[in-house]
Amino acid sequence: MTTGGARTRPATARGERTRAALIVAARTVFERDGFSDSRLTDITAEASCATGSFYTYFDSKEDILDAVLAEAQEDMLHPGMPHVEPESADDPTAIIEAANRAYFEAYRRNAQLMLVREQVAGISPEFRDIRRQRGEVFAERNAKLIRDLQSRGLADPDLDPLAAARALSGMVSRMAYHCFALGDEIPMEELVFTATRLWVNAIGLRKSS
Amino acid sequence: MTTGGARTRPATARGERTRAALIVAARTVFERDGFSDSRLTDITAEASCATGSFYTYFDSKEDILDAVLAEAQEDMLHPGMPHVEPESADDPTAIIEAANRAYFEAYRRNAQLMLVREQVAGISPEFRDIRRQRGEVFAERNAKLIRDLQSRGLADPDLDPLAAARALSGMVSRMAYHCFALGDEIPMEELVFTATRLWVNAIGLRKSS
Amino acid sequence: MTTGGARTRPATARGERTRAALIVAARTVFERDGFSDSRLTDITAEASCATGSFYTYFDSKEDILDAVLAEAQEDMLHPGMPHVEPESADDPTAIIEAANRAYFEAYRRNAQLMLVREQVAGISPEFRDIRRQRGEVFAERNAKLIRDLQSRGLADPDLDPLAAARALSGMVSRMAYHCFALGDEIPMEELVFTATRLWVNAIGLRKSS
Amino acid sequence: MTTGGARTRPATARGERTRAALIVAARTVFERDGFSDSRLTDITAEASCATGSFYTYFDSKEDILDAVLAEAQEDMLHPGMPHVEPESADDPTAIIEAANRAYFEAYRRNAQLMLVREQVAGISPEFRDIRRQRGEVFAERNAKLIRDLQSRGLADPDLDPLAAARALSGMVSRMAYHCFALGDEIPMEELVFTATRLWVNAIGLRKSS
DNA sequence: TATGAATGAGGCTTCATTCAT
DNA sequence: CATGAATGAAGCCTCATTCAT
């Protein structure tokens, strides 16, 4: 299931269209009703196709959610390079800030879907793993940064880079969840500032001087 | 619902016993099967009473979960005072460490139930609010500490105390969730160390000199 | 059941009070919720007594309804003599009008209960019989009048007195049902006039001259 | 509900067949067990289809009863023209008699169902309205006749045509209910005679001469 | 007599999935 | 590939009635 759909890909253009329509429809329905409260028939209705057609392309509700999340994943992971001013190219704080901003913005774009992801993560171990893997990507990226800074003597050497990265990634993702999925309505700038400052402080970043 | 059960409290000792048995049974069943997959009849069977008796005391599965969580809440919030060595009574790091350790230990005791709480938080806005309120208690406690340290010139004055407290509480609770609810199996001491060090660094704690 | 309660009458004054309270409460509840939608516990709650006490006095919901209807019966059957002006003592039209008016007024007083009676008559053959017996009392009373008028040459001799009486009683009771139970809101005077005129015409009443 | 079923109509012939089978089955079951005592599973069993198929076509037991009654309505309202001998074409008594006979015969054909209709009318305001509307059709038809006769000087001018028509329609329908639904076993001819004679007398019909 | 907790059968309803057309 | 009717297992919840105290 987690593998992205057990069915073979559509052979015809018409099939491709139906499959795509179903994914769009599923996202709409999931965001509107949540995963548990959504019915397959709502999805097919939204996609203007017959109930049975669903099973031509997907094995189950979980399966199509998997596809929906995979599409969103792209947007979350590769939102375009975070923009860093050239002159700050080597300023770790600027890099961290840019990454945080990029993350928050991507999260905001997909907020409703993130809520759905949390929902299914609560229900199914399979989706918990998806979420975890997704988190690990960020954590490892960050761990690398921390490790690098430590080796340059710019970060607290006592910290385990991966453990710290996981914790801080968790912190940021939690902030995003509260703000955008639950609707806490904190201004983006405050969010970025707080996240970045805590991050920078937490790893004990020192000016490179 | 959150108010603790729509039904009137039992008038007799026998009733009180049955009600209590149902709550214990419900916790067992929820921890074993999760919330969504649990059936009312499993709970009544576990409590050795008739199906109908359930409705003498609770309105729904949600209602009894509410009661179960309320009981666990006590343990989470008042786990006994975190132990701080007398000579460290005014050492902020020691205080933070003690608080983190107490939190992690309480979380571990209630790990399975926390998983259930996450599950229902994903499903129902009502339970999301319960979780949020619960989080706010910690956040405010921590905000107070940060504010105090700032006024003594010991913490980063640029941070908004509440925003920082929320973010750091979120970080710690996320760590606990991953470790105890999802089973990441990180040794307690590492966990406490990482959480505390990140915390302390993040707020820019300076030695009081 | 129809016999008015299988249980023995209360032995104590306290018991008598409880029994009476239950009947009053039952009428209130039945009128408010209808028979099918009423619950025994609502009745005992309304009567401020325990669920179990109900069965000290009644065998079932049907049984207490029986008692409630029996009480109302009194009021319906003996509403006090219909008032006929002395000088009209032998004017059949005046007698019929007075009887109709008395009936309508009694019906109005018990309208909600009549709705309940119709409801249970639809459900249970036993209560259909109660209603039928109740109707027969009126029909026979009227049949006697018709027979009398026929023998004096004042009414259509072709009519079967009982058949006509039943039909006309049915007509009047239906009018009352529509007006008071279903709420058709026709002024009492119009109702009495129409009923009486149709009655009088229908039996072919001739002036005695 | 009264609008004839919330679900969309079947799109295929097969669906139409199933839907029709359910209506036939429902009528059978309702007539046998009454409305309250009938179970949905009895209906689907009688129609030889799965429980769930019921909900493909109907929302509830009420909904299918609605459909059953609507079908019977046709038969009741358009039983074929009441037969009036050509030479009596303008004899009001003959017309009234023919109408009464037609009504009684239609009622007899649907007697069991009428009992069910009374039952649900006792339970649900919605069905009371259906019955009322149904009654109004007859009442208005009769009111027109009375009005016509009055204008030709052939009927009691003091009567309100609609009020009288309602009362007399009520009388006839009550007679039919007692005879056919409750089983009073009065010969059809007597019934027709009594109803007609009372009708004719009641409106004060005079020979046109 | 009063109390009120306990009982438990059984109906209604949902909806993911299948399959004949 | 599309269609949409058919399937049927499964769970919640009600409430009249009983019975121990």
Q: What pLDDT sits at residue B25? A: 97
Q: Is B23 helix (H, G, I), strand (E, B) or coil?
A: helix
Cβ of B167 and A198 within 8 Å?
yes
- Phi first, then psi: give them for residue A43, nearest 5 degrees: -65, -50
Identify all chain A residues contacting B104, using CB atoms and an 8 Å cutoff: none
Average pLDDT over residues C119-137: 90
User: What proportion of chain C, given as a percentage, has pLDDT over 90?
Assistant: 74
Q: Please say if the pLDDT value at position C29 is more than 70.
A: yes
Domain boundaries, chain B: 13-67, 79-202
Q: Please say if the pLDDT value at position B91 is more than 70.
A: yes
Q: What pLDDT sits at residue A11? A: 75
Q: Please say if the pLDDT value at position C84 is more than 90.
A: no
Q: What pLDDT sits at residue A79? A: 61
Q: Which two tokens stand for residue D135?
A: 């009654």
DSSP codes, D146-157: HHHHHHTT-S-T
Q: What pLDDT sits at residue A82? A: 64
A17-37 pLDDT tens trace: 999 999 999 999 999 999 999
Q: With a CB-CB cutoff of 8 Å, which residues 133-172 of chain A face chain B?
A: 156, 158-160, 163-164, 166-168, 170-171
Q: What pLDDT sits at residue D87? A: 73
Q: Which two tokens stand for residue C17?
A: 């009070």
Give the separation between CA B115 and CA B111, rounded to whole angstroms.
Answer: 6
Q: Please say if the pLDDT value at position B145 is more than 90.
A: yes
Q: Please say if the pLDDT value at position A6 is more than 80.
A: no
Residue B202 contacts A where some CB pair is shorter than 8 Å = yes
D170 touches C178 (CB < 8 A):
yes
Of 1.10.10.60, 3.40.50.720, 3.20.20.105, 3.10.20.30, the CATH number of B13-67 is: 1.10.10.60
From the CA of D106 to the C1' of F4: give the distance in Å: 39
Q: What pLDDT sits at residue D74? A: 83
Residue C204 contacts D where some CB pair is shorter than 8 Å = yes
Domain C13-70 class in CATH:
mainly alpha
Q: Please say if the pLDDT value at position A182 is more than 50.
A: yes
Q: Distance from A117 to chain B by nearest Cα, in Å? A: 9
Please count the other Cβ atoms lying within 10 Å of the Cβ belonging to residue B35.
25
Between A107 and B8, the higher pLDDT residue:
A107
Q: What pLDDT sits at residue C83? A: 65
Residue C15 contacts D where some CB pair is shorter than 8 Å = no
CATH topology of domain C79-202: Tetracycline Repressor; domain 2 (1.10.357)
Q: What pLDDT sits at residue A13? A: 85
Q: What pLDDT sits at residue D88? A: 72
Whether any strand E atom is under 7 angstroms from the Cβ of C173: the reply reads: no
Residue B115's closest CA among B199, B200, B181, B184? B181
Q: What pLDDT sits at residue B87? A: 72
Between B108 and C9, the higher pLDDT residue:
B108
C141-150 pLDDT tens trace: 999 999 999 9
Q: Please say if the pLDDT value at position C2 is more than 50.
A: no
Q: What pLDDT sits at residue C81? A: 60
CATH architecture classification, A13-68: Orthogonal Bundle (1.10)
B171 touches A170 (CB < 8 A):
yes
Write out residues in chain D with pLDDT < 70, as ranges: 1-6, 79-83, 208-209
Q: What pLDDT sits at residue C5? A: 46
Residue C133's closest CA among C196, C182, C65, C70? C70
Residue C75 sits at the vertex; the CA angle it makes with C72 and C81, to the nearest 5 degrees, is 165
Residue D208 contacts C where some CB pair is shorter than 8 Å = no
Q: What pLDDT sits at residue A208? A: 63
Q: Is A159 helix (H, G, I), strand (E, B) or coil?
A: coil
Q: Please say if the pLDDT value at position B3 is more than 50.
A: no
Give the separation between CA B34 and CA B119, rounded to whole angstroms.
Answer: 8
Write the CB contacts of C209 (distance below 8 Å, at least 6 apart in sequence).
none
Of the candidates B120, B173, B197, the beta carbon closest to that of A159 is on B197
Identify all chain B residues contacting A36, using CB atoms and an 8 Å cutoff: 36, 123
B84 touches B94 (CB < 8 A):
yes
Whether any strand E atom is under 7 angstroms from the Cβ of B12: the reply reads: yes
Q: Which nucleotide is nearest to C37 (CA to C1')?
A: F15
Q: Which nucleotide is nearest to A61 (CA to C1')?
A: E16
Cα–Cα distances (Å) from C170 to A10, C101, C126, C174, D111, in that order, read 72, 15, 19, 6, 18
> Minimal Cα distance from D114: which residue of C?
C122
Return the partners of chain B (3 or more C-beta pairs < 8 Å): A
Two domains, one topology: B13-67 and B79-202 = no
Q: Please say if the pLDDT value at position C72 is more than 70.
A: yes
Task: Please report which confidence band the pLDDT of residue B76 belongs to, taking 50, 70 and 90 as the band edges.
Answer: confident
Q: Please say if the pLDDT value at position A5 is more than 60.
A: no
Q: What pLDDT sits at residue D3? A: 43
Q: What pLDDT sits at residue A80? A: 60
